[in-house]
Amino acid sequence: MKNWKYQLIVPNIAETTVREYLHEYLLIPKHLIFSLRKAQRVLVNGSYRPMNFPIHTGDRVMLDFIPADFQTPFPHVIPDATKPLKVAYENEDLLIVNKNRGDKTHANQPGEVGTTLNQAENYLQPAADAHMVHRLDQQTSGALIIGKNPAVVPILVRMIKDKTVKRTYLAWVHGRLNQPTGVINDPIGRDPNDRRKRKINGVHAQSALTNYRVVQSGTTSTLVSLQLQTGRTHQIRVHLASIGHPIINDPLYDPNAQPGHPMLLHSWKIKMLTPFYYQPLAVSAPLPPKFNM
């Protein structure tokens, strides 16, 4: 039976219990902690201990996850070898890849191939499977995190939700911004007139916060770096368009987009701590061709 084991050394943290270490420090969801406890697949210094047992710096904790712990342990993604996967970083738990502009992150229909997740499945087989963690819009290129096992996925999702994964984007926008830095803080909801789009104060709007910094100014365009404090659909694209500086060639939000020309938005950098082991990680995805103005 396939399983996923971790042997960890408790770092220099305040005295805590097994449960607190698993949930608050490692960010393991409660339902997985329940499975580990029920089957006694969490050991401290070689022995099972109750969840309220105190653990200390230097203790050895072993975790053993099995497929039955997960609703979908094997995602059954179809491998696709038609394009090579651009791997920027890899460890035993995850990949950070440089997604091609124009490729979907994942399939939307049964039997669909050609997506980044299909490419990752081909790269990882037979040792591991590709698990989706988050997505990039089809016309956005750059750094994308992919899980290699079901144990790491909920932890990565939680880290992204809590913004402990820092993602920096680059975009060329129309016009010159008046301020070198700024914050766009406008709620985003669905556009009632176009199901593909989102809009400021649209249907079921949710809070959205984007920080930007001018990197380079041209005569008619500006290169900006952006960081998201929230993760709404099309957030960067909608926010920049809302202040009169849409991303160049954005097919939905740039009224002057030129057909056949690429949208100039790139997921540039990811900075995070690795799940389970908490090693600092900073990865950059090289810019695609024809990104400069």
Please check whether residue 273 is in contact with residue 265, taking contact to mean a CB–CB distance below 8 angstroms: no
Cross-strand partners of 77: none
Torsions phi, psi for 225 (to 5 deg): -100, 145
* Local structure of 60: helix, strand or coil: strand
Tell me how crowded residue 166 is: count the other CB atoms within 10 A of its CB: 12
Cross-strand partners of 61: 8, 44
Question: Residue 156, by phi and psi: left (phi above 0), alpha (psi -120 to 50) or beta?
Answer: alpha
Please check whether residue 40 is in contact with residue 51, taking contact to mean a CB–CB distance below 8 angstroms: no
Q: Which residue carries 């939000």 as its tokens?
A: 253
User: What single-letter DSSP state applies at residue 247?
Assistant: B
Q: How far apart are CA 215 and CA 193, in angstroms?
A: 34
Which residue in 93, 103, 137, 250 is the catalytic one?
A: 137
The token duo for 166 is 């820092």
In 3D space, the residue among 55, 34, 42, 37 whose CA is nearest the CA of residue 6 turns out to be: 42
The token duo for 177 is 């911004």
Whether 137 is catalytic: yes
The token duo for 219 is 């005569």
User: What single-letter DSSP state applies at residue 276?
Assistant: T
Give the DSSP letter string of 29-57. -HHHHHHHHHTT-EEETTEE--TT-EE-T
Torsions phi, psi for 52 (to 5 deg): -95, 10
Active site residues: 137
